[in-house]
Amino acid sequence: MAYMAFAKQQAGERTKMGTDTDRKDFFYYLLNAKDPETGRGFTTPELWGEANLLIIAGSDTTSTALAAAFFYLVHNPEKLEKLSKEIRNTFTDVEEIHSSPTLNGCSYLRAVVDESMRLSPPVGGILPREVLFGGIDIDGHHIPEGTVVGTPHYALHHNPAYFPKPFEFIPERWIVDSLPQFNKGSVELAQSAFCPFSVGPRGCIGKGVAYVELMTSLARVVFLYDMRKVAGMTVGEGRPDGEEGRRRPEEYQLKDSFTSMKDGPYVEFRERA
């Protein structure tokens, strides 16, 4: 409720600014939008709802993906070393690290980001869809109209039919011929089941921006700092005495609240010599 009140306040303040501004943000277009049939724009409650979605979708999800990347890198030092070599051999100054073909060419960086989102999707639950008139047949079962259906991203991303060793952090699975077991066919199969941003016309509108933010942020940190897991800290890890499904210390623990709640990891940074 506190978050919704904050979103409402932000929407109200932005609405007061109107559209007579050089600030072409999301709300500029929302305030200008008109229904082609009725000519009406968004109502105030509808604008509150848009603010509620945009604020959390544009920040909380990226935060979770970046936190997961740090978690898996410090828990897999050999992967961190491989990423560090790629970034530090590609760039000579931190200011070179920005959205560019050079950054996009860092294949292992992109693989680390994707593997982190595969293991710990920022939206791990279902994106619900309601079955329309007449029902639908799914995998041999008839689902009546009005039923809400969906597949949790977490479940799909851990399906061994698409991702061998599904609970292991293996960025190489996204790069053709990076290891003998990962060929063009296996990478394409993995990509077919990978959907942290959802797919189709209702897929995340901010996917491109999110990748730029994640790759730039992670690359800059890895370029500037050496890092490691804080000794004795287990925040963010599963526990052997935890509930079913939460017993893997090497898995970053998330809780589904449409987006993902998390704690940790605790990481030590040392400025690169």
Per the domain annotation, does 143 fall within a domain?
Answer: no
For the cut 90, the answer to whether the pLDDT of residue 169 exceeds it is yes
- Asked whether residue 72 falls in the same domain as residue 184, the answer is yes
Please state the separation of Cα 244 from the chain's center in Å. 24
CATH number of 191's domain? 1.10.630.10
pLDDT digits 0-9 by tens, 223-258? 999 999 999 999 999 999 999 999 999 999 999 887
Q: Do 64 and 52 share a domain, yes or no?
A: no
pLDDT above 80: residue 58: no
Same domain, 51 and 66: no
Q: Any idea what DSSP says for residue 273?
A: -
- Does the structure show a pLDDT above 80 at 11? yes
Across 15-24, 195-204, 236-245, which has the greatest mean pLDDT?
A: 236-245
Residue 134 scores a pLDDT above 90 = yes
Tally the residues of the chain. Answer: 273
Q: Residues 42, 46, 48, CA angle at the centre, nearest 5°? A: 120
**DSSP conformation class of 166:** T
Tell me, yes or no, whether 115 and 21 share the same domain: no
CA distance 149 to 138: 10
- Both structure tokens of 68: 């997961």
Are 215 and 109 in contact by the 8 Å Cβ rule? The answer is yes
Q: Which of 56, 73, 92 is the last residue of a domain?
A: 56
Closest CA to 155 of 250, 259, 245: 245
Same domain, 47 and 63: no
- For the ranges 17-26, 186-195, 251-260, the one whose mean pLDDT is highest: 186-195
Please report the pLDDT score of residue 102 as a whole number: 97
- Same domain for 40 and 65, yes or no, is no
pLDDT of residue 20: 80
Domain around 16: 2-56
Q: pTM for this one? A: 0.86
> Same structural domain for residues 72 and 172?
yes
Say whether pLDDT at 267 is over 90. Answer: yes
Mean pLDDT of the chain: 93
Q: Structurally, how many domains does the chain consist of?
A: 2
Same domain, 193 and 253: yes
* Tokens linked to 205: 């509108």
User: What is the per-residue pLDDT across 59-118, written as a single tens digit (0 to 9) for each?
Assistant: 888 999 999 999 999 999 999 999 999 999 999 999 999 999 999 999 999 999 999 999
| Mean predicted confidence (pLDDT) in 172-192 | 96
Confidence of residue 260 (pLDDT cuts 50, 70, 90): confident
**Distances 119 to 33, 68, 70, 90 between C-alpha atoms, Å:** 38, 8, 13, 27
